[in-house]
Amino acid sequence: MEREHKEPVVVGEYQSEFEATIIKNMLLDNDVPAEVSGATISGFRAEAPNMVQVIVPAGFEQRARELLDEHDQNRPESDESA
């Protein structure tokens, strides 16, 4: 039986390594393997400038997106116009 090889999937892009790491840790806490890509290395971005990506194995994409949706719904909205 041949195993299908699937590339990792980007489930989120963030402006800071700090924010991406929080998301990565939330996914890990929920048994979803995750990594951060594009983090700062010695003052330089390793990959896409200005964005840090959270990546999961393709088989975990749906669960990761569900968790991210829950996270976004539970995040307090800042309404500076009020």
- The domains of the chain are located at 9-73
pLDDT at 82: 43
Q: How confident is the model at residue 1 (pLDDT cuts 50, 70, 90)?
A: very low
The residue that leads in pLDDT, 23 or 81, is 23
In total, the chain counts a number of residues equal to 82
pTM: 0.74
Write down the pLDDT at residue 49: 59
What CATH topology corresponds to 9-73? Alpha-Beta Plaits (3.30.70)
3-class SS string, the chain: CCCCCCCCEEEEEECCHHHHHHHHHHHHHCCCCCEEECCEECCEECCCCCCEEEEECHHHHHHHHHHHHHHHHHCCCCCCCC
Mean pLDDT, residues 16-26 taken together:
94
* Beta pairing partners, 56: 9
Pairing mode, strands 9-14 and 52-56: antiparallel
pLDDT in tens, 24-81: 999 999 999 999 998 765 456 555 456 899 999 999 999 999 999 998 888 776 554 4
